[in-house]
Chain A
Amino acid sequence: ETGVTQTPRHLVMGMTNKKSLKCEQHLGHNAMYWYKQSAKKPLELMFVYNFKEQTENNSVPSRFSPECPNSSHLFLHLHTLQPEDSALYLCASSQDGSLTDTQYFGPGTRLTVL
């Protein structure tokens, strides 16, 4: 276990649904990340939060809405997704938001959009 948990582990949703992914880290870290991992594509950084403030948004469509209420919790709110959004969504944390620090990943949420 890496100290980063994600729920749910699997999610199937229709294009009109609204759902949320949750990530929690128990490492006392200050930075948290959302990544998207699609088949046969490199890991894509989506968002970075450092001390609860968003410091990076890699041109992610607005149908993905992150929320970071404190340094231990990170959410990804999903609405009106497309089938191409089906992927493994990984949360990670690091001691600080330097973006070059070692990152600790959760097990991921496997999302399927029908």
Chain B
Amino acid sequence: SQQGEEDPQALSIQEGENATMNCSYKTSINNLQWYRQNSGRGLVHLILIRSNEREKHSGRLRVTLDTSKKSSSLLITASRAADTASYFCGAAGNKLTFGGGTRVLVKP
């Protein structure tokens, strides 16, 4: 069974709004990674949060990790049309496994 599962599957927001997506996983992890994928392209690494960290920031991105709930969230603040993409979490247990992703549409 897959490790990371993202929620919601799709998200549509206006430019300037915040976008929040969640990831749940099943087993213990070493770290959790978030990736972005533009349509038909490869995944691009955004941020990695280790199992002993609770929150991490990178530019407009904020990631939280709650190992007791086996969940993580990715917040994109002040979204831009260029943030339109699919976002995947990768749960790094004994290997890195991905969920089905959240498709984010940012409307200008």
A residues contacting B by CB (< 8 A) are: 2, 4, 6, 40-43, 45, 56, 88, 90, 92, 99-108, 110
| Contact partners of A42 in chain B: CB under 8 A | 2, 4, 97-101
Contact yes or no, A40 B100, CB < 8 A = yes
| Contact partners of A92 in chain B: CB under 8 A | 42-43
Q: A42-B98, A99-B94, A103-B43 are in contact. List 14 more A-B contacts (CB 8 A).
A: A2-B44, A42-B4, A42-B101, A88-B40, A92-B42, A99-B92, A100-B92, A100-B93, A100-B96, A103-B96, A105-B42, A105-B43, A108-B42, A110-B40
Interface size of B as a range: 20 to 34
| Contact partners of A99 in chain B: CB under 8 A | 92, 94-96
Contact yes or no, A107 B42, CB < 8 A = yes
Contact yes or no, A90 B30, CB < 8 A = no
> Can you list 8 contacts pairing A with B, beta carbon distance less than 8 Å?
A6-B42, A40-B100, A56-B95, A88-B40, A99-B95, A103-B43, A103-B45, A105-B42
State which of A2, A90, A100 has its C-beta within 8 Å of the C-beta of B95. Answer: A100
Interface pairs A-B: 5 shortest CB-CB: A105-B42, A100-B92, A99-B95, A43-B98, A100-B30
Contact A102-B48, Cβ < 8 Å, known A2-B42, A107-B42, A110-B40 = yes
